């Protein structure tokens, strides 16, 4: 546990923004997954409560557009930049552009690599992967004689989170793979997190192995949905255990029906609210205490990381419903 202090960068003297109300630029990769719409809404709401304005841009998963979005935000005059990077490597350019204008940068949810990022706010993404893989290992039998056969659907290769999910998953599966108790019968990346890319991966796995697998280790609920479509076409729904992440409402409904085994509930409203609070502090040059740090290849970035919760059919009511993240009616239907 470290106590990193994020020092104000250039910009306004401590305690004031360059303008009457701090202005925060929020550059999103995409709004296609439901969670990002929730992150955006919670971020804008919290920033507004703190007297700050937020200008939002979404890049539709296009790196060139995301850099152009950042340039437009900087030109419009902002006191802090918050980025959900489509490509953590490509968005180092956003950090350099922002710092050239004396604007601090908060990397949100996905780590921008190899750049002088001021602050990183996310969940503990290695633990996300650990919990996804551990769910399969803890709930499904695996012996040398009858190994647990897994099809893995990773997310977008450009998203550094996926490398951390994979790191967590591999830390659980590695020893069992060596002992022959687990087999990865298929393993691929779903481009830009597209559900249709996930469906193609599971279709290919079925072509190659028929129903010769026991689980799909899907990295998020969107790819889980694509995987489940492929399973449904082969009558394998409910026979193959499927993981996910994000607690998307459609995924919670699948979990309630037993079609998807689990998802990962990230405290997205808390994450977005905290992100907004820290962005306002960056914008007004207030000191920030960050309890964690993450090496992004260029520096140890001060970080605020939240833990996550495994949601299954058994604990839906005690987690996402109790938190008000989803309603009983929405999850279970009429």
List of residues contacting ligand GAL (CB under 6 A):
33, 35, 109-110, 155, 159, 161, 193, 220, 245-246
Q: How many CA atoms lie within 13 A of 15 on its CB side?
A: 0
C-beta of 159 vs 292, nearer to ligand GAL: 159
222 or 285: CB nearest ligand GAL: 222
Quick one: the chain helix, strand, coil %, rounded to 5? 40, 20, 35
Q: Decide whether 155 or 302 has the Cβ nearer to ligand GAL.
A: 155
CB of 131 to ligand GAL, least distance (A): 13
Measuring CA to CA, which residue among 237, 241, 256, 274 is closest to residue 320?
Answer: 256
**Beta bridge mates, 116:** none
Q: Of 109 and 277, which has the nearer Cβ to ligand GAL?
A: 109
Which of 6, 218 has the CB closer to ligand GAL? 218
Minimum distance between the CB of residue 184 and ligand GAL, rounded to whole angstroms?
21
Q: Return the residue nearest ligand GAL (CB atom).
A: 161
Please, what is the minimum distance in Å from the beta carbon of residue 245 to ligand GAL? Answer: 5
Distance CA 20, CA 50 (A): 13
35: nearest Cα among 228, 316, 308, 293: 308
State the nearest-atom distance from the C-beta of 110 to ligand GAL, in Å: 5
Taking Cα atoms as reference points, which of 123, 131, 198 lies closest to residue 169? 131
From the CB of 243, what's the least distance to ligand GAL, in Å?
13
Which residues lie below 8 Å from residue 17, measured CB to CB, with a gap of 6+? 11, 23, 52, 79, 283, 284
């Amino acid at each position: 546990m470290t106590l990193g202090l994020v020092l104000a960068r250039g910009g306004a003297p401590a305690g004031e923004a360059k303008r009457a109300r701090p202005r925060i630029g929020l550059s999103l990769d995409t709004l296609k997954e439901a969670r990002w719409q929730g992150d955006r809404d919670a971020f804008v709401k919290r920033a507004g409560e703190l007297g700050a304005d937020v200008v939002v841009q979404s890049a539709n998963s296009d790196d060139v557009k995301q850099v152009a979005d950042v340039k437009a935000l900087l030109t419009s005059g902002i006191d802090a930049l918050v980025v959900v990077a489509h490509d953590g490597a490509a968005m180092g350019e956003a950090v350099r552009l922002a710092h050239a204008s004396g604007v601090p940068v908060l990397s949100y949810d996905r780590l921008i690599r190899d750049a002088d990022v001021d602050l990183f706010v996310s969940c503990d993404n290695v633990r996300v992967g650990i919990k996804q893989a551990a769910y399969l290992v803890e709930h499904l039998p695996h012996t040398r004689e009858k190994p647990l056969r897994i099809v893995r659907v990773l997310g977008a290769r450009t998203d550094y989170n996926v490398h951390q999910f994979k790191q967590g998953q591999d830390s659980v599966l590695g020893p069992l793979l060596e002992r022959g108790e687990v087999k990865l019968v298929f393993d691929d990346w779903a481009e830009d997190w597209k559900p249709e890319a996930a469906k193609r991966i599971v279709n290919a796995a079925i072509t190659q192995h028929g129903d010769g697998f026991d689980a799909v280790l899907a990295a998020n609920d969107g790819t889980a949905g694509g995987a489940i479509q492929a399973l449904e076409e082969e009558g394998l729904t409910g026979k193959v255990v499927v993981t996910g992440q994000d607690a998307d409402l459609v995924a919670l409904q699948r979990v309630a029906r037993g079609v998807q085994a689990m998802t990962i509930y990230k405290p997205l409203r808390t994450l977005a609210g905290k992100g907004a609070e820290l962005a306002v502090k960056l914008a007004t040059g207030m000191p920030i205490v960050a309890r964690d740090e993450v090496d992004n290849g260029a520096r140890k970035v001060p970080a605020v990381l939240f833990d996550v919760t495994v949601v299954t059919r058994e604990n839906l009511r005690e987690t996402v419903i109790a938190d008000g993240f989803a309603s009983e009616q929405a999850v279970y239907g009429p």
